[in-house]
Structure 1
């Protein structure tokens, strides 16, 4: 028995990649040169995680314009005036809006998995956007000749292909990003939107076998963008019962940034069922202070007082840089926090008398210097 530890997804882009993104936007960098920079950024991101002792890695979402919109980048039937997401510090993010049918994925995350696996022998985790988030693209006023029902049919097909492609490409686990879950309760306190979200996600998940769903998970957090959140003030107890209705094998739950983690853990324990694993957040990506391994250890031990060790894992609360323009956390800080997560989880596992997955040596071991 071991306590696994996994990343959530995004890691701040490398300085070289940020410069290349700006140069490409201004027309000063061609596609071939940009692709070369992307490849280096992915390889460096994966190699650095390996050097820290990670046993599961991601590509850090170096290739994604954002964790939400990667499937629709380049679509010709979108406008910019979609749903507005307000954050606590006053800044906003706005989703696109579908202007006509049909809805089609332009990009599938399978490509990210295949590229990442070229860089490592370690298991590769892939985050995908939940279909519930993309359902927000359909306008409330409707679209002539393209009903919401038609849209949801096309969305479900696209989401299934996105997940299945990643599994077939050899992803260790596919994680549905479900940050809109907690936000939905802020927009609709009745919980009906949340229930609709879960039903839509399960409509896609039911297309997979039980063994495939064991390699699928759902991540929830109150948002984490530019060092701010959009729904931390929503009570977790209102979200978790619906969240755990997802028919997946893994749940990744923000916890380090919660004001009362013990209360949340008791709610999680009430929702726990056999055959699932709960990865609790032990790192707060929007806190500039780097956690110590001992702080992480204590967070894991606190969780183990409520949750069986055989159903427990650890993760970061959320991604470190979900949008390409989010530079609020440095790359060096993110990797320092990842190191603390891994070392602290290992300390807790040792104290609990259970294992921690051993890091691989050889070609995946690299020095962690000069990551900023």
Structure 2
């Protein structure tokens, strides 16, 4: 029995890169010097990733400012956009678009190309969902740039981001959709969630059924500075809508849930036979490193609800989705990845 296992994306940046980012922001080093630090961090990340035996790796998002805002370079933005509150009281704030047109300043294949130079294993590329980027358009609109035109430009840009990653050699593309669960906190009626699903399907429908087998959607309750933004939102409100997305793979945070069997039963009820389900088996915001045996048992529990031939494993979230998040060390991140790889192998052997 083979059970695929994949990372979600980000790895904590090494201290030398964090220092370099601060120096660059302060005007102390050049962009060229920062780029050299990012490459050094990338090489170290890929080397350590491959040493875990992970069959698929990522670039650890070493060059991204954050998982959400990488495309926004060069746009007319104000800093006072949507605020995302976390359970521990800290917040993250998105920028606000002040003028059109919306366009991608950086595509994810820029990061992919750099990773492929150094990787000997398949590389997965994470991209941000159109629904997340839609939040930068202000509620009161923009003179001369309608929301309808913004959405059209957004769909074009997001589809191009995925297309370029696939054409650039990505083993698969993962759409980060953390705002899905959060939307039910903002709008318990589910109307906002459905609008997000419809918007993301407008992007996914640009791809063939065969291409969508390599495209997945990741959902989690957020993960930043060892806190979350929507763990108190029941998955039963999200999952029926989530599985309406026209994607082939679904990466679902599970290790941090209080009642994983309830979540698994909901997945079994609403997922479609052609959809592969990657369940989270390590919790990045928990500093304790899971054992391989714990991971094995989580996989075997999932196999009670999801046919093993549709089952995969992943980490619940990225380990450092924002570049300045130092709440988890690189050593802990890679130890958890090692546990995921080893535990998934043990589960596959048990199911053979």
Same fold, TM-score > 0.5, yes or no: yes
Q: Which residue of 2 aligns with 1:368?
A: none
Alignment of 1:175-190 (within 5 A): 175-190=174-189
Q: Which residue of 1 aligns with 2:345?
A: 346
Q: Which residue of 2 aligns with 1:53?
A: 53
Q: Which residue of 2 aligns with 1:162?
A: 161
SS in 2 for 1:118: helix
CA distance in 2, matches of 1:98, 1:27: 25
CA distance in 1, matches of 2:98, 2:110: 27
Q: Which residue of 2 aligns with 1:240?
A: 239
Alignment of 1:1-372 (within 5 A): 1-75=1-75, 77-353=76-352
Q: CA deviation at 1:27?
A: 1.6
Structure 2: runs of 5 or more not aligned: none
CA distance in 1, matches of 2:17, 2:211: 34
Q: CA deviation at 1:73?
A: 2.7
Over 6 Å off, 4+ runs: none
SS in 2 for 1:315: strand
CA distance in 1, matches of 2:94, 2:37: 27
Q: CA deviation at 1:248?
A: 0.7
CA RMSD of aligned residues (A): 0.8
Deviations 1:243-295 (A, max 9, x none): 00110110000000000000000000011212221000000000011101011
Q: CA deviation at 1:144?
A: 1.2
CA distance in 2, matches of 1:8, 1:311: 18
CA distance in 2, matches of 1:343, 1:74: 43
Q: CA deviation at 1:306?
A: 0.6
CA distance in 2, matches of 1:276, 1:170: 22
CA distance in 2, matches of 1:197, 1:39: 35
CA distance in 1, matches of 2:307, 2:154: 37
Structure 1: runs of 5 or more not aligned: 354-372
Q: CA deviation at 1:207?
A: 0.6
Q: How many residues align?
A: 352
Deviations 1:64-111 (A, max 9, x none): 000000000342x11011111000000001110111111111000011
Q: CA deviation at 1:160?
A: 0.8
